[in-house]
């Protein structure tokens, strides 16, 4: 088996290492020399040498793009397809917008070239030892590269989702779920740190990593990060490439409620200090209607702490539950 990889960074490079160890011949193109890959037997060509790439691969060629989403994909795709033949397969392994993938598939299919939107999950460790692939595109194209992807995927981690665009759509929803899970775990850390008990975070996350309902790779990663000596120095700033924003925007267009995923994106914005004026405006209005102080106030802080009333529940809401006149969906629409 042979595989061409364009972009030999953290994902493409690790896929190349894994592939060579599984007797898959790899020819790659990158802006850097990548001696650590050539030592493993990967043929590394200069960036843009798609003629050389094409000459070193037998048809039907299988080429994996490990590039950032956006116009770069269009530019590279235009260049590489000039050197490909009918029946060759191009896989976009990045986080491209699925509607862009649908457009690109139509374009390259005019030349008889298969285009597969190949959502790839697992990060660099997955690329190195077994990734998770969500593939959209024509079935015939998938069948050509299936043996290669099967070798590079973790057990159960290869799925042909459906038609063009579906692979990147499913991967984008996956990223949204990831954001929601990250936010939930982070809020758990906040509660543990702010609580009344002096708990050992590492021990708690170790405990949660063994048989608990929320046992997961993310919980294990949190445990491992807490163990790092520099954990306390990690900046309170979260960066991302913005693809989950597309998911939220599409949800709004379709009136699909995704409050957790939407709020997780908002929390990223807040971490970057992007609200320069909102809290100032709130403070000004609160001062206007209630002469609330500007800035910190020890008196207000004391009132906030000592004014709490403990052991207050909302049980009274359930006292008359049997007599409540609940409005059900069928009542709203007049259904029987």
Mind telling me the catalytic residues? 171, 178
The answer to whether the beta carbons of residues 126 and 132 sit under 8 Å apart is yes
- The rounded distance, in Å, linking the Cα atoms of 84 and 81 is 5
Handedness of CA 33, 34, 39, 41 (dihedral sign): negative
Question: Hey, what are 172's tokens?
Answer: 């984008």
Question: Which of these, 48, 43, 41, 36, lies nearest to 10 by C-alpha position?
Answer: 36
- The rounded distance, in Å, linking the Cα atoms of 299 and 174 is 47
Strand boundaries in 93-200, DSSP class E: 114-121, 131-136, 153-162
Cis before 60? omega within 30 = yes
Handedness of CA 81, 84, 89, 95 (dihedral sign): negative
Cis before 123? omega within 30 = no
- The rounded distance, in Å, linking the Cα atoms of 209 and 219 is 6
* Lookup result for tokens 């493409």: 12
Question: Which of these, 24, 25, 42, lies nearest to 33 by C-alpha position?
Answer: 42
- The rounded distance, in Å, linking the Cα atoms of 202 and 237 is 22
Spell out a b/e string for 216-240, using b for 16 or more CB atoms within 10 Å of the CB, else e: eeebeebbeebeeeeeeeeeeebee
Question: Which of these, 133, 200, 206, 140, lies nearest to 170 by C-alpha position?
Answer: 133
- The rounded distance, in Å, linking the Cα atoms of 62 and 303 is 67
């Amino acid at each position: 088996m042979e595989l061409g990889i364009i972009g030999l960074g953290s994902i493409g490079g690790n896929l190349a290492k894994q592939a060579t160890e599984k007797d898959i011949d790899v020819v790659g193109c990158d802006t850097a020399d990548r001696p650590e890959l050539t030592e493993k037997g990967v043929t590394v060509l200069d960036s843009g040498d798609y003629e050389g790439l094409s000459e070193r691969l037998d048809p039907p060629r299988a080429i994996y793009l490990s590039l950032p989403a956006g116009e770069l994909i269009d530019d590279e795709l235009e260049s590489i397809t000039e050197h490909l033949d009918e029946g060759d397969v191009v896989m976009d392994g990045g986080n491209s917008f699925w509607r862009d993938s649908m457009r690109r598939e139509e374009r390259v299919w005019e030349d008889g070239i298969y285009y597969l939107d190949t959502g790839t999950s697992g990060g660099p460790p997955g690329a190195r030892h077994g990734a998770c692939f969500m593939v959209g595109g024509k079935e015939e194209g998938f069948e050509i590269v299936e043996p290669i992807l099967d070798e590079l995927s973790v057990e159960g981690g290869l799925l042909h989702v459906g038609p063009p665009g579906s692979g990147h759509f499913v991967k984008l929803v996956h990223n949204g779920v990831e954001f929601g899970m990250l936010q939930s775990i982070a809020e758990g850390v906040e509660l543990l740190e702010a609580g009344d008990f002096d708990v050992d975070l590492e021990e708690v996350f170790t405990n949660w990593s063994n048989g608990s309902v929320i046992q997961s790779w993310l919980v294990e990663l949190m445990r491992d990060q807490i163990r790092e000596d520099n954990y306390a120095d990690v900046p309170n700033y979260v960066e991302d490439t913005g693809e989950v924003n597309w998911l939220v925007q599409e949800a709004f267009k379709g009136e699909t409620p995704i409050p957790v995923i939407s709020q997780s994106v908002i929390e990223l914005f807040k971490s970057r200090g992007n609200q320069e004026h909102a809290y100032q405006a709130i403070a000004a209005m609160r001062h206007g209607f209630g002469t609330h102080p500007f800035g910190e106030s020890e008196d207000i802080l004391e009132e906030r702490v000592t004014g709490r009333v403990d052991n207050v529940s909302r049980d009274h809401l359930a006292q008359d539950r049997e007599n409540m006149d609940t409005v059900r969906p069928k009542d709203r629409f007049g259904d029987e």
